[in-house]
Structure 1
Amino acid sequence: MYDVEQIKNLLTQAKNGDTEAFGTVYESYFSQIYRYIYFRVKDKELTEDLVQTVFIKIFVNLDSFNPKYPRTYFFTVAKNIITDHWRKKKDILFDEKDSTFAKVADHGNDPHSDMEDKERNSMVQKAIGLLQDDQQEVVQLKFIHQLSNKEIAQILNKNETAVRQLQCRGLKKLREYFKENNVL
């Protein structure tokens, strides 16, 4: 993974016509943006389409691109693309419980470990599905994508205190759920 300054340099190169530099940025952020979008839409093909839309939008707007924090900008674009999609498809409802959560651990091809991972992921999915939408988003951005509270606040257009409160409330609900289900 590249640091912020390297990404900024790659984006500057891309602004000047270096498509390989943009390809490097794309490869660096693809999986993070993919997971973020998939968690929200729960459909592989739709996720792929929306991820492409995100990077196309970023590429098309490179001339006006000048954010201090590229990663935050990418997630903000992704959030806006998802919002636009749902706004256009108001009649489509999605079920939070059908999401596939990012793998908690990679144990190779061990069937027993894979089964445990699936059970654990299912439990985490169910628990996160019980959270309010804004709590889900904060928990996902914080713990799956490892963004700072400041970055999350910028993406969600909230202040850091609100992000911390959403995170605390979400984690409290998750703890309660895991305790009730004898996971802890």
Structure 2
Amino acid sequence: MNATYPTEELLVCALQNHRSADFSLLYDSYSPALYGVLLRLVKDPDRAEDLLQDAFIKIWSNSQNYNPKQGRLFTWLLTITRNLAMDELRARKVRATAATYIYAHEVDSTSPRFAEGMLHQSLLSQLAPKYQTVVELMYYRDYTSQEAADILKLPLGTVKTRMRAALQQLKQFFDQDIQHYHAQYGA
């Protein structure tokens, strides 16, 4: 076999050796295909590159979890990469939903309340600390659900549940603020 195309067996060894030189071989072999998948999913070359780096960090960190008897190496790598992309897309949807919600209520963009920003720290401070942290990471710092789960050392499902609960509470706060705005400014 040509030396420029390592066998899957060699690549599995490279993953399991957990040495940076071996990991470079793995990266060089699979990064173009994984980048292509990410690009098709997120449709942003810069974000796809960032996610590719995140995927390989996760691959490196979880290399001991790969079992060749359970499936091909590429399938395992692809699953990790795809899951990161899906987390990214879900996070975008959450951010878009929050932004759309603000504009859907036809608040006058010249009003003092709107100028302060509807998603303001005073609203966030009304949330329980466990919700504030998740919103801070995912909305303000642009972390994916999985990244937030890793940072907080919580299960992914817990982070998603907390984000959903936080958004529901923020919606209630927005509704109260909008009612207050209409009462105060007669709109």
Which bracket does the TM-score occupy, shorter chain normalised? 0.3 to 0.5
| TM-score normalised per structure 1 | 0.46
More helix by share: 2
TM-score (norm 2): 0.45
Which structure's CA Rg is the greater one? 2
